[in-house]
Chain A
Amino acid sequence: MPVSTWKQKLGDAMPPPMAEEIDAFESQMTLKKQGRIDDKLFAETRLRRGAYGQRYDNGQRHDGIAARQLQFPSAATKGPDTLWDAPGMQRIKIPYGGLTPDQMEILADVAEEYSDAICHVTTRQDIQLHYVHIDDTPDLMRRLAAVGITTREACGNSVRNITGCSVAGVCHDETFDVTPYSRALAWFLLGHPDVQDFGRKVKVAFSGCKGRACALTNIHDLGFIARKQEINGEEKRGFEMYVGGGLGAVPYNAKLFDAFVPEEEIMPLTQAVARVYARLGEKRNRGRARVKFLVDKLGIEEFRRLVHEERKTLPHDARWTGYLDDVAAYAEKPLKPAAGLKPGGGDVHFETWRATNVYRQKQTGYGVATVALPLGDITSWQLRRLAGITRKYCGDSARTTVEQNIVLRWVPEADLPRLYTDLKSIGLAREGAGTLFDVVSCPGTDTCKLGISSSRGLAGEMHQRLATRWQQYDAAVQGLRIKISGCFNSCSQHHLADLGFYGVSRKVGGATVPHFRVVLGGQWEENGGAYGLAIGAVPSKRIPDFIDRIIEKYLAEREGNESFRDFIQRIGKRELKKVVDTLATVPPYQLDPSYYSDWRDPREYSISDIGVGECAGEVVSRIDFDLQNAERLYFEAQLAHEDGDHRKADGTAFAAMVAAAGGLVRLENLDIGDDPDVVIPQFRRLYVETKLFHDRYAGGKFAEYLFARHEQGERPADADQVRLLLEETQLFIEAAHACHARLTEKTDDDRAAAGGRDTADAVNA
């Protein structure tokens, strides 16, 4: 019998928890279409499944002549001012960048069938697909789940993809391989109750050493750098732990939280950080809501004290140390025996590629080959073939990188010429990885709602111009990095680039002209150790000229072996501004209209397409999700009842009431879980005996529905009993909503009465 849905076809191939989450998301989509979930809540719900908005999703687009409405078939929405039918971006989490060939093949398939046949590697090792219709996302997620990939919490106010060194385990400089730690923490935090109530996102990174840049811990909310320490004569593994780093408009360097956190403490300490951040972090002012602002506000000493206090209150979790068995057992097995590269025989292109794209592993006879992706893009056709190449040369050891490339690890050096030939046959043997030629760019105005200038257009232009020129520069210039963001939010990590740019606009003679602000001399090494100097703004169309001039200036004026960064520091802003100023003038439109459109976008430039970004997600508290979950379960119970499965309907309706009650209890007890025998007594004590749950007219009647059904335990439910229970469930959930609303109003009133003490003070009091 032919199967007609991916859900049927994949069946047991999906891990049950993932399958259930995706089913739940699909139910939430149905409820949204029925108007039973509000826009804000659904927006955050889809964001936490990685389904992000995209430019023009408010249904308006400036076509170069005028702003026009995009006439989609439906006026339904999937968030505030976001149309259901408008294409969106699907972000896919790839923890520490680890990819297997099977995963590559499925990514290729879903990109081809639901997107535009392009997988885009991000600067945080995710994969993004663009122009995806939300109706396609459940199946897309199911196909990924079947190969162990989740999109959960890829966006929204939770813990995003955990990044890690792409050369972990094979690097000469690392203290130890951080791979099993980053993997364990990623899965520990995924969906964890303590990471559901943030004001903004949290980014975590693992690095094997301090000196290199691979994981950029300095720019993360939470960064771990591998350390070993002798304790009681025994060498112990642990991490130097940093908090409060971040880029964005105002970059913050991460602060040292602890010089050595033993490996068994990284999970509970992260959990404690999450709780402190959830409790004290800003939630109203989105621009001040990241961890970096909380650390800055409290000071690192106070932040540290609060986290350690919180740590003491955490209920023990066996997973904190349970994962260490996996760490001990973790070892990558090379597919093939080591073999050195025979000298000679390679052509000049191979040698150039080898010089820039191959890193010799600490394991003699093996190398890491970087597959350099232009602008981070790889086609489905290429990715499917790259999967085959990965299988052929290194088994399943591939990773995405923060420079938007893919690395193949454990390649026997003797195989490099053949690997090069195979990559060349699919257009993936581009040399110059990690050089001036390897331009990094965020999506910018191509697809991002916040984009101001065309970062990808400029990056594409630079990529084309540098293709034949980058090798003509001397080594000091070849090694420079260009990173281009479409706005100040720094998704390309322009603060860390030698030559960084971010999009801005300027009014010239009544028209708007795309520009890029120049940020020079950032430090990529030492985990993104220092941020560049922001100089002035240059018209978008003059940026290539600016790059030429600044490089010429460096070559002409550097002192000895002075690095570009040192040169920038030495000559300073005043001198650099002169270079900017020579290119800053915009001719009148009549003389040169090209300035008034952006790279690879002939439309007359306008900033009217800039929308409200979804980077910040929507501030939705944990109880909103709990109540939504109750609604979903109630809906599923109704469906089961319609299908005649009364037993399932009965159990699901009861679970819906427990979920709603649990949401209220969780306001007082974060660790409540979902066991009815635990939830219901606490609900009775906290809300019924105190009459907080009581309705003005019905009193405690609705709570009695829950208690009565709980007392009955397992029962052979018939259709009438279930119909009655469904009615009661609906009333109970409504009562839970009303109770929550009353509590919120009371909190607001208390806050007003307290004279506006800020949240932190109130909590500390």
Chain B
Amino acid sequence: MTETPMFNDLHKIGIKFFTLSGNDVPLADFIPVFHRWIQHGSLNDTLVDVADYSHVPAGPGTMLIAHAGNYAIDETGNRRGFLYYSKRELPGSGVEARLAEVCRRNLDACRLLEKDEDTRECIDIDYGRLQIIANDRLHAPNSDETRQALEPVLKNFLARLYPGSGYKLESDSADPRERFSVTVSMQERAQSAEELLSRL
């Protein structure tokens, strides 16, 4: 499959791993966690600040704003999960490589959540259910063309991340005004961020 030039320019990509448990933990509880990550320089980016949107229902929740992308305990669409999305140009010559990079950045943060003394007991990430978002209506509008272009990329990416596992892939919305996004449910889930990171 040859990617169209437009689609190949896609750099603004998001991946959200949904939560298995911990949906009742107040969003404000993640504020000190993210501040601590900034203090310790825990992630490989310039970590700028924490944004608190806990007062907004079904919103971006509690965010860790960084230069290259944002991290969040996100509740968009009333589905809580851990989200990372890139804002600046990503390394990698194709979308598949960039998708892997975004996933790596997300999982690096998930790994911190698994270890953090405030979160390790109260929130579980579902490493078998994720949402993939193209946050760029110019290069990847919510259309059949984008889906056709993305499907083989996703297939390769998911085969690498979950070797041998089947999956169900659903479009989140057919509305062309929405961003292109799909929810992927794997038949076999991984146990930890580390497990997935080892495959990337």
Contacts and interface: CB of A to CB of B under 8 A. Distances in A.
Given A61-B49, A87-B48, A112-B179, 18 more contacts: A3-B6, A70-B46, A73-B46, A113-B136, A116-B51, A116-B65, A117-B59, A117-B76, A118-B56, A130-B51, A131-B70, A133-B87, A377-B56, A379-B56, A379-B76, A382-B59, A427-B57, A446-B52
B38 interface: yes
Interface stretch (B16-24, B28-36, B109-117): B28-36
A353 B199 CA distance: 52
A617 interface: no
Interface in A1-58: 2-6, 9, 55-56
8 contacts: A3-B6, A70-B67, A73-B67, A113-B179, A116-B53, A116-B65, A381-B59, A446-B51
B138 A3 contact: yes
Interface in B74-102: 76-77, 87-88
Contacts of B179: 112-113
A130 B70 CA distance: 12
B58 interface: yes
Contacts of B177: 105, 109, 384
B55 A457 contact: no
Given A3-B138, A116-B65, A70 B48 contact: yes
Grouping DSSP codes into helix (H, G, I), strand (E, B) and loop, the A interface class, with mixed when no group exceeds half, is mixed
Nearest to B51: A116
B131 interface: no
Contacts of A61: 48-49
Given A65-B39, A71-B46, A72-B46, A118 B6 contact: no
Contacts of A426: 58
Contact of B58 (A105, A131, A379): A379
Interface string A54-82: 01100001011100001111000000000
Interface residues of B, number: 41
B156 to A, nearest CB: 22
A601 B38 CA distance: 13
A139 to B, nearest CB: 8
B51 A377 contact: no
B4 A2 contact: yes
B55 A464 contact: yes
B6 A55 contact: no
A116 B49 CA distance: 12
A417 interface: no
A85 B139 CA distance: 23
A602 B76 contact: no
A136 to B, nearest CB: 8
B67 A85 contact: yes
Contacts of A456: 52
A463 interface: yes
B48 A382 contact: no
B49 A56 contact: yes
A446 B35 CA distance: 13
B12 interface: yes
| Central interface residue in A61, A379, A382, by most chain B CB within 10 Å | A379
B65 A131 contact: yes
A268 interface: no
Contacts of B58: 379, 381-382, 426-427
A758 B148 CA distance: 70
B108 interface: no
A694 to B, nearest CB: 49
B178 interface: yes
Contact of A457 (B49, B52, B57, B77): B52
Contacts of A4: 5-6, 9, 138-139
A64 B39 contact: yes
Contact of A602 (B32, B59, B77, B136): B32
Interface string A196-223: 0000000000000000000000000000
Interface string A369-390: 0000011011101101000000
* 8 closest A-B pairs by CB: A427-B57, A2-B6, A602-B32, A379-B59, A374-B55, A63-B39, A460-B55, A117-B60
Given A9-B138, A109-B137, A116 B70 contact: yes
Contacts of A64: 35, 39
